[in-house]
Chains A and B, each alone.
Chain A
Amino acid sequence: MPGTLIPAADIMAAMSRATTYEGLKAELTALVGDPWSAKLDSFADLAAGWDGYKAEPPSSVVIATARRFLASDELSPTRLAPSVAVGVGITFKRNGRKAYLELTNAGAISLLLSDGVNDPHTEPVKVEDPTLTTKIREFLGE
């Protein structure tokens, strides 16, 4: 639970149970929870006009879809934020490159791939598409 101290003994026990790196990650994630989940939950508390203008908060559908996407792969975002374009923005940055996935309350989901210099590539996507994270990884050079 956010803000709750985890006893050192629990961490040591989790470490001793794990026999592989993946196992250790799973044990620690079970202890501390999904770091992005609480942040996504906080978006639901935003009021209309949270951006100081007219933006609505991300809808529960958008938040759930973003959560599903983040849980589907271990690709770790560098930033997760509500979008002033009304939705959620998920940013991945590596090696001077950026992949940005935006999900809107209106139901649109788009991916932008940008190296900051050349014309950015954008396309509509589906979060269920198994090639989506592959595309992001390849662009970022992972």
Chain B
Amino acid sequence: MSKRPKAMEREDNETEYPHFVADEVLYRRVPLVLWLSKNDDIELDAIELPDMSVGRSRFGHPEWVRFDVVNGNHFEDWGVIGFEVRAIHPRLWVNGTDEFTFRPAHDPLDLDYPHTEVRVYLNGMQVNLADAIPHHIQLKWRELLFREIRRVLRPYQEVPIRQQRPKSHHPESIPSG
């Protein structure tokens, strides 16, 4: 198993950085069971509801999200998808009265500073989407996000694991493996 880059870790006194720009990219690992073949694309079944864990391009590279720091795993063969912040459908109205808003929130972990969550808020208060919105309406939100998602790393794609944080939020080209 490859070693997790030290640069993923939160540095002393490093707090969250709450600002996101529209073209910052959010990355998420996708298990092999959801890729039917090496070159296949994923489907809606791979798209999570908020709260959805992702890694942000301002502080991390796509191959870094193959590390599961919570359980100490490295899913080195898994694919990675990405979407820009602007692709998050920002608002859903339910029953004409409840306004649900969606946005990313930087949620750094000690071993994973880029960790971010896409969260949902009801009238400004954070809520659990699964409990708050009927399933068929959740599906609509997921489909709108799915349309904007792109494959960043194919399953089994070997890439060198970069050891330094990105220089900006603009994704850098993937080094050849």
Contact = CB atoms under 8 A, between A and B. Distances in A.
A53 interface: yes
Nearest to A107: B135
Given A52-B73, A102-B45, A123-B136, A85 B142 contact: yes
A39 to B, nearest CB: 10
Contact of B147 (A91, A116, A124): A116
A112 B140 contact: yes
A46 interface: yes
A49 interface: yes
B143 A114 contact: yes
B81 to A, nearest CB: 11
Interface stretch (B19-27, B30-38, B118-126): B30-38
Contacts, number: 91
B135 A112 contact: no
B43 A122 contact: no
A106 B53 CA distance: 21
A83 B45 contact: yes
- Chain B contact-residue range equals 20 to 34
A81 B44 CA distance: 10
Nearest to B44: A100
Given A84-B47, A102-B45, A106-B130, A51 B31 contact: yes
B156 to A, nearest CB: 15
Interface residues of A, number: 32
Interface of A: 46, 49-53, 55, 79, 81-85, 88-89, 91, 100, 102, 104, 106, 108-112, 114, 116, 119-120, 122-124
Given A82-B34, A83-B44, A102-B135, 16 more contacts: A49-B71, A50-B33, A51-B48, A53-B48, A53-B53, A82-B45, A89-B44, A100-B43, A100-B45, A102-B139, A109-B135, A110-B136, A112-B136, A120-B139, A122-B136, A123-B136
Interface of B: 29-31, 33-34, 36, 43-49, 53, 68, 71, 73, 75, 78, 130, 134-140, 142-144, 147
